[in-house]
Amino acid sequence: MAAITMKKIVKRYGDGFPAVNEVSLDVRDGEFMILVGPSGCGKSTLLRMIVGLEDITSGEMLIGGKVVNKVAPRQRNLSMVFQNYALYPHLTVFENIAFPLRLAKTPDDEVQRRVKETAELLELTEHLDRKPANLSGGQRQRVAMGRAIVRQADAFLFDEPLSNLDAKLRGQMRTEISRLQRRLGVTTVYVTHDQTEAMTLGDRVAVLRKGVLQQVGSPRELYEEPVNLFVAGFIGSPSMNFLPASVDGAFLDTPLGRFELRDDRKAGALGGREVVLVGVRPEHFEDASLIGEEKKAKGATVQARVDVTEWLGNEQYAYVPYEAPADVAAQLRDLSRELDGDQLRTQAVVALDAASTIKPGGESELWIDTAKVHLFDPATGENLTRDEEHVAQLNQLADESRDAHRKAHRGD
């Protein structure tokens, strides 16, 4: 077991394009770290630099306190699960799992014992004599995991291990990986572009954008206190709505209507700016007719024309198109494209209570929880209203819940 420390890691390809740019990241011993970002953000490259399959252009990579920049993959004592599993098709499941042990010249009786133990842990015992070609996707995935955990590696590295499974199996394997990691307590770095995996698996999540590290924090911190527009838009599904607003004292004029910032800290954060982007998560909207007076007074009510509604049983989404100034609209479209989406029109996505009877096409009254909104600088994308006190609280909470998790899993 070991901590992994990255200091100003840069990966530059032949054409000078930096795939990873000055990333500094500390993965603590035993921690489950997620690298997440849209495709092409450099997360896989970073993982491959940790394992040694990719050269480091500059910067320092430390594993267990030792600089490993020039150390060959086989000497780093890490194990990795590849996206396409990379099982050896000519070997049986048993020999696939035993492969790292055989290379380490482990005595045969110990190989037998450890492979059997691993197979039991992953419920592969009855498949040990089969070839990978005869296994289902989920079974292959488990064999790949078996090969990774059979030896005492210093850290596990996962490169989008679940992306080839169907949705149901993915959910099961996700829980399985989480349980396994907490039980073994091995440092883990996990690359994914899937939000659910990022939010549910990680102790901490690192968000990358075009090779640059944006924010590292617990899933809650990323969701509730994002540092910038990119993280705010990337984390959460459906993503946060960004409304352009012109500032008028403590009042904000948005395309959906005018409302007041009642929080002095937030009003202060405006810092004399004339235009800001207001970030509102879909669930911070509500059908005004379903809210009590007392709660209503804490937020703001606006009139909006709902275009389409989607009723899902447990909740309901409403789409509210709005007009935005051309430059802001272009900026939002760029952001959406960068987040692997392609939003054609500027619209707000609103999550309503399933009981709401708002009709598409007409004017409706929507309530906004203004205490929860974030304000972003339209030029830099920086979050003006990040609450450091709250962040500290969230960190403490994350640490506590992590320790509790560990204790529960070590117990059994």
Partner 1 sequence: MESARSKWLWGVASLLILVWTVFPILWIVMLSFKQPGEVGNKKGFLPADWTWTNYETVFKTDIFTSALINSIGISVIATFVGVVFATLVAYAIARLEFPGKKLILSFALAIAMFPVVSLVGPLFNLWRDIGLYDTWPGLIIPYISFALPLAIWTLSAFFREIPWEMEQAAQVDGATTWQAFRKVIVPLAAPGVFTAAILTFFFCWNDFVFGISLTSSDAARPVPAALAFFTGASQFEQPTTAICAAAVVVTIPVVVIVLAFQRRIVAGLTSGAVKG
Site string for partner 1, 104-133 (x = CB under 8 A): x--------------------------xxx
Site string for partner 1, 25-64 (x = CB under 8 A): --------------------------xxx-----------
By CB neighbour count within 10 A (0-12 exposed, 13-18 middle, 19+ buried), where does 65 fall? Answer: exposed
**Candidate segments 78-86, 243-251, 260-268, 308-316, binder of partner 1 by CB under 8 A:** 78-86
As measured in angstroms, the least distance from the Cβ of 243 to partner 1 is 42
CA 210/CA 37 separation, integer angstroms: 9
As measured in angstroms, the least distance from the Cβ of 6 to partner 1 is 18
Q: Does 357 bind partner 1 (CB under 8 A)?
A: no
Q: Does 100 bind partner 1 (CB under 8 A)?
A: yes
**Candidate segments 80-88, 255-263, 280-288, 329-337, binder of partner 1 by CB under 8 A:** 80-88
Q: Does 87 bind partner 1 (CB under 8 A)?
A: yes
Q: Of 32, 85, 158, 376, which one interacts with partner 1 (CB under 8 A)?
A: 85
Of 23, 73, 82, 84, nearest to 50 by C-alpha is 73
The tokens for 378 are: 């339209």
Q: Does 190 bind partner 1 (CB under 8 A)?
A: no
Adjacent-strand bridge partners of 411? none
Q: Does 140 bind partner 1 (CB under 8 A)?
A: yes
Cβ closer to partner 1: 89 or 249?
Answer: 89
As measured in angstroms, the least distance from the Cβ of 179 to partner 1 is 23
Cβ closer to partner 1: 47 or 276?
Answer: 47
What's the Rg (C-alpha) of the chain? 24
Q: Does 152 bind partner 1 (CB under 8 A)?
A: no
As measured in angstroms, the least distance from the Cβ of 103 to partner 1 is 4
Binding site for partner 1 (CB under 8 A): 51-53, 72-74, 78-80, 82-90, 99-100, 103-104, 131-135, 137, 140, 147, 151, 164
